[in-house]
Amino acid sequence: MSAETRHVVLLDGSHLTRQQVAQIARGDAIIGLAPDQLAKVQRTADFLAEQVKRGEPIYGVTTGFGSNADKLLGAHRARDELPGGNLETNSRTLMEELQHNLVVTHAVCVGKPMSADVVRAMLAIRVNTLMRGHSGIRASTLQALAELLNRGIVPVIPEKGSVGASGDLAPLSHLAIVLLGEGEAFYQGERLSGGEALKRAGLAPVKLSFKEGLALNNGTTQMLAMGVLALDRLERLVATADLAAAMTLDAFAGRSSAFKPEVHALRPHPGQVETAVRRWRTFPTISCRASRPGSRIRGAIHPPRRIVSTSAGTGCRRRNATARRRFMRASCRSRAARSTSRRMRTACAASRRCMVRCVTRWRRRNA
């Protein structure tokens, strides 16, 4: 599906839904950035730059990280004072190098690459979080991150390495490092270096500014992305199971009255009520079938063994008439039972033929 035909999900930091994340993860949608909120993001970045110019000590900007939070950055690099001088050529300022190194030194995951849908979900969630405008990231850097997703670049993120509740620092560093032209990424089905993937997609590497490294790799985006996609798959499985149960009930001419909403409303379980309503509405004609004669099949019914002779007296004639009525009712029930059996076989065959079509329509309606 080309970018021109895909649905655009507008991110503003507050209204992203699970369904939209799943759409983006499947590649059915791309993302856009709300202009008003993007302006707020830039205002925050400008405010941070002003504080840096004033010489204010700011964690992760003019100080170290973690246990080094009480240590201010020096005026120059310590390695510049080594004998023979610093042989490395570096066009970055000290603050820019601090942010760059934060990302590079944390990109240490191992194992197989995560699936593309998880990585796309991570990109969408991270961009949406940064769109709130509290991190100090520049609007241009955020737009570049969004373009990774929209241009089909999928960073290679090994499966193992997150520290869990303390933050997905390592996976998010693998996500951000491609933005710097480093690491690896998949582009159009090919595994490439980060710089080559950017080049083929028509993008340029980003040079991180104040606090942007911290903004890009500090969060729990990976576990949230995996949780959202797992819940989406579970909901689809539940919907498919409800459809299969309703079709089975219809094929076997079962009683649908057990799924009436008013019955399940007596219990305080929303999931149970929703499932019952979904099954009740899938095949509304079941309730009519359940009330027809012969809906409960008990097998063939044979005529009575003995019919009293009509040559006897009045009592005998009464008994004879009663026996005939019973026989006629039994015969009707037998014919109804055979008719219902034929309807059941027909319904089973129809259910098998339309199962795929019904499941497809159901998934589209609940997507």
pLDDT tens-place string over residues 214-228? 999 999 999 999 999
Instruction: Give the Cα separation of 290 and 138 in Å (integer).
Output: 65
pLDDT in tens, 269-307: 888 888 888 877 776 544 444 444 444 433 333 444 444
Whether 61 has a pLDDT exceeding 60, the answer reads yes
Instruction: Give the Cα separation of 55 and 310 in Å (integer).
Output: 119
Q: Which amino acid is at 337?
A: A
| Best CA proximity match to 4, nearest among 35, 33, 29 | 29
1.10.275.10, 1.10.4160.10, 1.10.3720.10, 3.40.50.300: which CATH number matches 7-219?
A: 1.10.275.10
Half-sphere exposure of 145 (CA within 13 A, CB side): 34
Structure pTM?
Answer: 0.72
Report the chain's mean pLDDT, rounded to a whole number. 80
**Beta partners for residue 63, in sequence order:** 72
Any idea where the domains of the chain sit in the sequence? 7-219, 235-366
pLDDT in tens, 137-161: 999 999 999 999 999 999 999 999 8
- 111: tokens are 């194992």
Contact between 24 and 120 (Cβ < 8 Å): yes
**Residues catalogued as catalytic:** 59
| Best CA proximity match to 279, nearest among 293, 289, 264, 294 | 264
- 36: tokens are 């008003």
